[in-house]
Structure 1
Amino acid sequence: MNAPNLHLPDVTRRGFLAGAGALVVSFTIPAEAQEGEVPAAPRAQAAKPKLPGSLADTPSLDAWIRIDANGSITVFTGKAELGQGTKTSLRQIAAEELEVEPAAINLITADTALTPNEGYTAGSQTIQNSGTAIRFASAQVRQILIAKASEKLGAPVEALKAEAGSIAGPNGARAGYGELVSADFLHVDAAADTKLKAPGTYHAIGKPFARVDIPAKVTGGDAYVQDMRPPGMVHARVVRPPTYGAKLVDFADVAVKAMPGVIAVVRDGDFLAVVAEHEFQAVKAMRAMAAAAKWQEQPALPDQSNIPAFLEKSVSEVGTVTSVGAESAPGAKTLQAQFTRAYQMHGSIGPSSAVAMLDNGLTTVWTHTQGVYPDRKAIAQMLGVPEEKVRCIHTEGSGCYGHNGADDAAADAALIAQKLPGKPVRVQWMRDQEHLWEPYGPAMLTRASATLDQNGKIVNWHYDLWSNSHGTRPGSAGSLIAGRLMARHFPPDPARMEITPLGNGDRNAIPFYDVPNQRVNWHFVADMPVRVSSLRGLGAYCNVFSIESFMDELALAANADPVEFRLRHLKDPRARKVIEVAAEKFGWSKDPLPEGRGRGFAFAKYKNHAAWLAIALEAEVDRDNGTIRISHVVCAVDCGEAVALDSIVNQTEGGILQSMSWTLYEAVHFDRTRILSPDWSTYPILRFSAVPDSIEVHVVDNPGAPYLGVAEAAQGPTAGAIANAFRNATGKRIHDLPYTRDRVKAVLGV
């Protein structure tokens, strides 16, 4: 794939927008808006209504939309395409308000030289924040174009309308968008009261439109950063230490330098890499380097068989997530339960990769990071250069959803590229490097206690969770492997407990159910034995699994049907709706199933302020070999107005399958010294043979309602539904994730 702007290192947003005949603009990109960060205090003059979505941080219209003199339209987003359909759905949103077809929109995604700074593509916030910003900006741009056409055509605004890239007036009068362009005409701030189109007039939102990112992916085209092959590119491989904290004590590079094709051997402290003309030459040299390197190791990992005890004894502080009503309430029956989650990895099918080039003092990095601006900041600190001397361009990678090795591969490439100015350097991780060095989803321990009254209503709820931070994405150079290993040895950023509406380890720890007296506490673990960070859904996966498993136990204690019991504790009409739709479409019944088969149900509102999702499924448990087979899944989801129905369905199906894999198979294994899960045999994931016979996703659309995040809504409820189906099928409850064959057989006494 020919890398964009590979030989234009001085490109800037001003330069890009100052093309012939296009508007000339300037604007300031604000500091990073990282996931979970508390918003800055409003400026003194900001008594105006808050702008919607990401416009609140970047209000200038020209930060989002460009119109050229030839009528072409470019839309900018700080969010990245990770396979969730962003490049398609954002086109649909802009096209709707600009009255053009989605194919007419040129979309530029996360690029530190061109796009707004929208922090990370994380937390299912792309459509909610960037989509909302683009929609309001597009609507206002349409109104500005109509106003300018009114002057040009001499017709009142009321007599004009936008259609097919032009403004049409009375008696066939018409002015194309390009004819209305003037310098800085979009260099104005967005207006909070911009009127959007009514749902009944839509031609793009909610309509079928083919995903623009799919063709190359299914035909073997240039789809990913792994596919990049710019002219003059060289291949690099890194050699990682065998364990966390290992120190390089001896390495002789003479033999490696003499190997065919080797261009350079790079050593910077404990950082080792080799560069060669061809890829397999780099692989062979890497293996030779690994064999020659001598490391000093020390056991530093805890006993994997007793992680809950490790978490409890490692607590650094306790935070209150919520405290509502009385500390306790009298009732007829009190239940308690404990749940755990193992360390789990992203398991990206394509190991991380990046391409970097140093040219004229500018280091350009093509990376599948989920945050180009934060990654740029960390890489610049690592290299000891100003941020403007690093440009990060998002290029899709084959697998992510969370903080995997993408940022680290970018740092590897940037560091190696300093040794070879003018040459594009491609770094490709190996499978074992991805498995052993990516940041894992943290292990968790949760405890729930609840009291039922005489009528089977929950009157008291206590919930405690033990976990570290789920967000150690790039802040400083110490968040990057290369930064930690190089001679300067940047220390890791200190872990902090942050309880915010976005949530972290505490995400979805507050039950969405109507319970009058609630206490939820986060027992924060600052130091963890393995490298951890964001895995899709953060704490929501384990918290919802725990809450929904416990809800079924409470329903049993109340002698109530699980669906009816949930509805008993919900007034929210949209929550009730998705539960009712899922139950109806599934054919939920109280009738018993044959032995070994069971039904499971679960519900959550993601982050308690994003999409509502309910799921029902049927599972079959084979007592002899310990397998759990999910045969039929029905889900209902409400994410506000549905922009791209097919993408919502795809994302939800993907979330269900990913959660099935986590719940049934995935756990990182280690001894007191090393990680023991370097490949797929030691870290199994869901295979095609285990995919359910059918998965139905019913989208409960709400035209005109705000967009809500949906991509991560299914993970927690799916785990809860599997747990409840197992309980229904066997009469036994498994409290620990994952539900491996050995664990199933142990619980069933086989």
Structure 2
Amino acid sequence: MSILQGQITRRSVIVGTGCLVVSFSLGRAFAQAPAAPAPPTTPPPTTPPAPPASLPGSLDDDRFLDSWIRIDPDNSITVFTGKAELGQGIRTALLQVAAEELEVDPADIEFITADTGRTPNEGFTAGSQSMQNSGTAIRNAAAQVRALLLAEAAKRFGIAPTELRAENKSVLAKDGRSVTYGELVSGQVLHVEAQPQSALKQPGSFRVMGKPLPRVDIPAKVIGRPAYVHDLRLDGMLHARVVRPPSPAATLTELDQGAAEAMPGVVSVVRDGNFLAVVAEKEFQAVNAMRTLAEAARWEERETLPDQTDLPAELQRLEREVGTVAEAGVPSSSGKVFEATYTRPYQIHGSIGPSCAVAQMKVDGTLDVWSHTQGVFPDRAAIAEMLAMPEEKVHVIHMEGSGCYGHNGADDAAADAALIATKVSGKPVRVQWMREQEHSWEPYGPAMLMKVSATLDDQGRIASWAYDLWSNTHSTRPGGAGALLAARHKAQAFQPEPAELRISPSGNGDRNANPLYTIPNKRVLWHFLPDMPLRVSALRALGGYANVFAIESTIDELALMTEADPVEFRLRHMEDPRARAVIELAAERFGWDKAQMPRNRGRGFGFARYKNLAAYLAVAMEAEVEPETGRVRVIRAVSAIDSGEIVNPDGIRNQTEGGILQSISWTLYEAVAFDRTRITSTDWSSYPILRFASVPDSVEVHIVERPGEPFLGTGEAAQGPAAAAVANAIRNATGKRLYDLPFTRERLRNAVGRA
């Protein structure tokens, strides 16, 4: 696989790599923007400078067009994004956005994703914000480039821009004259800021956006070409394996590394405090040496993990601070009251391909790292801190990993490779985690406890709502070296940054804890746990998964108390017209009013607007329950989603289908197991997931069209509603409510047995 190994920066691209960067003086390029008067020569000293105008999406953080669009003299086009392709199809959707506004075919664009030497810094690819931030930035940048190309061509032809059109990498005049994009920028290297307004194309004129485009990342994966960082092979590359401690608090007390060092192909044994690794010429040599080294290591272990048999009590014991998420009116217990306690266990990402990274320390003192991290720039900062290197000497390039959706082991594997590479001068080093390492050491989705107390008035409406949740922070992504395992295990260990209670509109552990329904009196509190006995971080949807599960389960119980239909009860309390639309569409396509369930089958419904400010999603499910065995199988799922302007409808369907299936897996099967010392769920037997035999017969996704509306994101919208729909379908089938995730066979048998 050919990989550009030299240190490349956007600055070096601009000043001397032989390419031409698109950028123009914007002047009167936009017909809707009148020319600004010339500023006074000497501004009054008492007048402070005006702050720069806000720009759309991530343009506000990287304001120059040449950070996003490049056109070369040969008429080739390159588009840059700081977001990473994680299997969510964002590379394809962003490509469509750029192609639409540039009036070119998607195949005409080279698309570069997250790379600290080449792309804008867009932080993490997380929170279903890639389309909102990067998509909006690229669309506006591309539209401005198109307008500027038209303006430049108009100047050359001596005609008005309205007499021209852009098409197929050229600007065409009505009289037949034409000029290519490359010719228009030939001999110019320009660098100016984008403008707040753009002449965006209108939905009725779209050629690429809103239409299905096959995923550009899929072909290589299907035919076996290099697609993942796991596939990367560099000349002279060595293979490394890390020997992890047997438990989170273990300390390495004794090591005889002689036997491992003497094994065939072994190049080096690396030890730095509790960090222990072996480097070999071939991969299986590294695996064998790792096992030998592990047998020779002696560790001192301590009991530091909580009591899993009473996890809710442990969570309440660890509470240190309480924050108010939402408050309105005065919650009361007057009227019909429903109270419940719900729990969620620690859960893993369960990436099918264990984490992997490649790093090379070069003779010029720079370090290249290839990683499936979700944030190349934050990871660069953390690695640089760990190694005491200047950030500009560290170059992190994103390559896909086979499994993600949150902060898994990718950053840690990158740190492993970086640290080992500094001990093996000049040669690339590939680090591949083992399955048991991925299960035992990746950051988990935090356990949660949710308590609800809701009151109905005489008209059958929710009058009062009190909601309390107990949870750690849901994000410990790299910002500092202390977020990396290798840095924590070094002799000069870095400590994790202290966790802080932070309540924001997009939420964290409190994500979606405030119901979108109209409730006059409510109070939502986050009981914050700064101590993290198990290592935790972002897992798809953060707290939104468990909070929506608890809220929507309660909504169904309240509907039963009023003898109301669950869908009608939701609509009774919903004012947002877009929310009502997805609820009604999902119910209609499911055939909710006509769905008569046979014995041991039930139907369930779930709804949420992700973060209460992103995509709307409702889903109805039919599930079958086997009381004797406790097995639950979802037969069919019918969903409706509104994620704003549609770029790639297939992409929206893919993400929604995948989210529903993953949520079913979490809800029915998944929980991290541990004793007071170690993680014990270290493989797929001890940590079961949804298998093909249990996949629903059908999963439908119906998309609400919102032409001209802002992008709202898609990737995490299904997690909470799908869990609630499963729970409510089981309730409908058995008459019993399950409160503790996951709904294992044993839990269901126990619940039904108490009938």
- TM-score tier (shorter): over 0.9
Deviates more, 1:588-597 or 1:399-408: 588-597
CA contact (8 A) 2:20 2:188 kept: no
Please list the CA deviations of residues 678-726 of structure 1 after superposition, one character each: whole Å capped at 9, or x if unmatched. Answer: 1000000000000000000001111111000110000000000000000
Q: When the two structures are superposed, what TM-score results if normalisation uses the length of structure 2?
A: 0.95
What are the within-5 Å matches in structure 2 for residues 200-279 of structure 1?
Answer: 200-279=204-283
The Cα shift of 1:661 comes to 0.4
Unaligned segments of structure 1, at least 5 residues: 27-42
2:288 is aligned with 1:284: yes
CA contact (8 A) 1:141 1:186 kept: no
The Cα shift of 1:45 comes to 4.7
Instruction: Find the counterpart in structure 2 of residue 306 from structure 1.
Output: 310
Please list the CA deviations of residues 43-93 of structure 1 after superposition, one character each: whole Å capped at 9, or x if unmatched. Answer: 975545521111111111111111111111111100000011111111100
Distance 2:134 2:100 in 1: 15
Q: State the percentage of identical aligned residues.
A: 62
- The amino acid across from 2:68 in the alignment is W
Instruction: Find the counterpart in structure 2 of residue 11 from structure 1.
Output: 8
| Structure 1 residues 296 and 21: CA distance shift in structure 2, 3 A | closer
Distance 1:380 1:49 in 2: 33
SS in 2 for 1:441: coil
Instruction: Find the counterpart in structure 2 of residue 675 from structure 1.
Output: 679
Please list the CA deviations of residues 606-632 of structure 1 after superposition, one character each: whole Å capped at 9, or x if unmatched. Answer: 000110000000001100100001001
Instruction: Find the counterpart in structure 1 of residue 385 from structure 2.
Output: 381
Q: 1:575 aligns with which of 569, 574, 579?
A: 579
Q: 1:729 aligns with which of 720, 730, 733?
A: 733
Instruction: Find the counterpart in structure 2 of residue 38 from structure 1.
Output: none
| Structure 1 residues 130 and 334: CA distance shift in structure 2, 3 A | same
- The amino acid across from 1:358 in the alignment is M
The Cα shift of 1:331 comes to 4.9
SS in 2 for 1:318: strand
Distance 2:736 2:656 in 1: 28
Deviates more, 1:540-549 or 1:151-160: 151-160
2:556 is aligned with 1:526: no
What are the within-5 Å matches in structure 2 for residues 426-465 of structure 1?
Answer: 426-465=430-469
What are the within-5 Å matches in structure 2 for residues 354-433 of structure 1?
Answer: 354-359=357-362, 360-433=364-437
Distance 2:438 2:190 in 1: 44
- The amino acid across from 2:165 in the alignment is K
Please list the CA deviations of residues 514-553 of structure 1 after superposition, one character each: whole Å capped at 9, or x if unmatched. Answer: 1122211100000021110000000000000000000000
CA contact (8 A) 2:81 2:112 kept: yes
2:156 is aligned with 1:152: yes
The Cα shift of 1:156 comes to 0.9
SS in 2 for 1:382: helix
SS in 1 for 2:532: coil
Distance 1:346 1:123 in 2: 15
- The amino acid across from 2:574 in the alignment is L
Distance 2:599 2:82 in 1: 52
Distance 1:547 1:317 in 2: 23
The Cα shift of 1:157 comes to 1.0
What are the within-5 Å matches in structure 2 for residues 58-137 of structure 1?
Answer: 58-137=62-141
Distance 1:564 1:265 in 2: 65
Please list the CA deviations of residues 579-622 of structure 1 after superposition, one character each: whole Å capped at 9, or x if unmatched. Answer: 11100000002765222110000100000011000000000110
Instruction: Find the counterpart in structure 2 of residue 40 from structure 1.
Output: none
- The amino acid across from 1:63 in the alignment is S
| Structure 1 residues 697 and 735: CA distance shift in structure 2, 3 A | same
Q: 1:717 aligns with which of 718, 721, 737?
A: 721
CA contact (8 A) 2:22 2:190 kept: no
The Cα shift of 1:183 comes to 6.2
The Cα shift of 1:14 comes to 2.1
- The amino acid across from 1:400 in the alignment is C
Q: 2:517 aligns with which of 513, 518, 528?
A: 513
Distance 1:439 1:183 in 2: 50
- The amino acid across from 1:288 in the alignment is T
Distance 1:727 1:446 in 2: 19
Instruction: Find the counterpart in structure 1 of residue 638 from structure 2.
Output: 634
The Cα shift of 1:253 comes to 1.2
Question: Where do 4+ consecutive residues of structure 1 move more than 6 Å?
Answer: none
Distance 2:258 2:715 in 1: 50
SS in 1 for 2:592: coil
Distance 1:613 1:358 in 2: 47
| Structure 1 residues 643 and 301: CA distance shift in structure 2, 3 A | same
Distance 2:175 2:22 in 1: 33
The Cα shift of 1:23 comes to 3.0
Distance 1:91 1:150 in 2: 27
Distance 2:190 2:470 in 1: 49
The Cα shift of 1:569 comes to 0.6
| Structure 1 residues 24 and 99: CA distance shift in structure 2, 3 A | closer
SS in 1 for 2:278: strand
Unaligned segments of structure 2, at least 5 residues: 25-46
2:21 is aligned with 1:23: yes
Deviates more, 1:509-518 or 1:373-382: 509-518
Instruction: Find the counterpart in structure 2 of residue 39 from structure 1.
Output: none
The Cα shift of 1:330 comes to 7.0
What are the within-5 Å matches in structure 2 for residues 180-191 of structure 1?
Answer: 180-181=184-185, 187-191=191-195
2:540 is aligned with 1:542: no
| Structure 1 residues 540 and 21: CA distance shift in structure 2, 3 A | closer
CA contact (8 A) 1:641 1:706 kept: yes
CA contact (8 A) 2:22 2:185 kept: no
Distance 1:243 1:21 in 2: 52
Distance 1:553 1:684 in 2: 30
Distance 1:494 1:619 in 2: 43
Instruction: Find the counterpart in structure 2 of residue 333 from structure 1.
Output: 336
Give RMSD over aligned pairs: 1.5
Distance 1:510 1:192 in 2: 33
